[in-house]
Amino acid sequence: MFLKTDHRKYWVEDTGTGDPIFLLHGFTGSTKSFDRLITDLSSSFRLISIEMPGHGRTGEVGVISMEEFSQDLKQLIEHFSYSKVNLLGYSMGGRAALSFAMLQPQYVNKLVLESSSPGLELQQERAARKSADQKLIEMLLYQGIETFVEYWERIPLFDSHKKLPEHDRLILRDERLRHNVRGLAQSLEGMGTGQQPSWWQQLSSLKKRVLLITGENDEKFVKINNRMSELLPICELFVVKGAGHTIHVEDPGTFNEIVEDFML
């Protein structure tokens, strides 16, 4: 179903009953990203999945910042008449969930961040990331979705996908190919890692229960999440053996069990 905020409309799927968990997928993902989680946990929780700006049926909504998305998410939560919810975000969705928790903490109960970060600390890091993302934007706009997806599948972050069954790899590819190039370009321009605020200095002020999940083979994010766990006041960290960046795809059984135990 489509739900409207003041300035945009979002595709939202609502499944299950119980305490609410809002699901925020990663870049090139969709509401389908958490299908296995929804299947396994919908008997215990109400799972509300949002297609992020620039993605899927939400599509082109303009270039919006993390701050603007947080305002939209606040209105989506209020649409369901909740004053406080749980959030689960993967990668870009995790950065969005953390940003929302920092900007609108009164709406957050528990927070699950999979393979995510608080952004980049240094201005030169942000500038370099913006430059890299601009090249991706140009690839999307001038070479098309198929060329971009072929490139995206081969980046080192997703090396662990080579071990996935062919059926699972084809599902991921189909999900990525369904996106609109202008929408993905807008997502990178507005909500890319180099664009968002850095929350490193504010992590110690977040008085919420936070679960960090990362895969042991994702060395960059293991390092980031170890540091995050030292700064967050109320935090649990799980490093999943044998997994890379997309634990919910590579080891969904373990991932869903960790999330369920944390939420109960």
pLDDT for the residue numbered 186:
98
Tell me if 93 sits within 8 A of 26, measured CB to CB.
Answer: yes
What spatial distance separates the first Cα and last Cα of the chain, rounded to whole Å?
Answer: 28
pLDDT for the residue numbered 72:
98
> Which of 89-93, 96-100, 162-166, 184-188 has the least mean pLDDT?
162-166
pLDDT tens digits, one per residue of 87-96: 999 999 999 9
Mean of the pLDDT values across residues 159-170? 94
pLDDT for the residue numbered 208:
98
pLDDT for the residue numbered 215:
98
Q: For the chain, how many residues are written?
A: 264
pLDDT tens digits, one per residue of 222-242: 999 999 999 999 999 999 999
Count the Cβ atoms, other than its own, within 10 Å of residue 2.
Answer: 10
pLDDT for the residue numbered 40:
97
pLDDT for the residue numbered 142:
98
All domains in the chain, ordered by first residue: 2-263 (3.40.50.1820)
Q: Is 123 exposed, middle or buried (0-12, 13-18, 19+ CB in 10 A)?
A: exposed
Side chain identity, residue 90: Y
pLDDT tens digits, one per residue of 17-38: 999 999 999 999 999 999 999 9
pLDDT for the residue numbered 74:
98
Is-above-0.95 flag for pTM?
Answer: yes
CA distance 99 to 118: 8
pLDDT for the residue numbered 259:
98
CA distance 156 to 158: 5
Percent of all residues in the chain with a pLDDT value above 70, rounded to a whole number: 100
Average pLDDT of every residue of the chain: 97
Mean of the pLDDT values across residues 65-87? 97
- Helix 181-191 with 66-79: angle, nearest 10 deg: 110
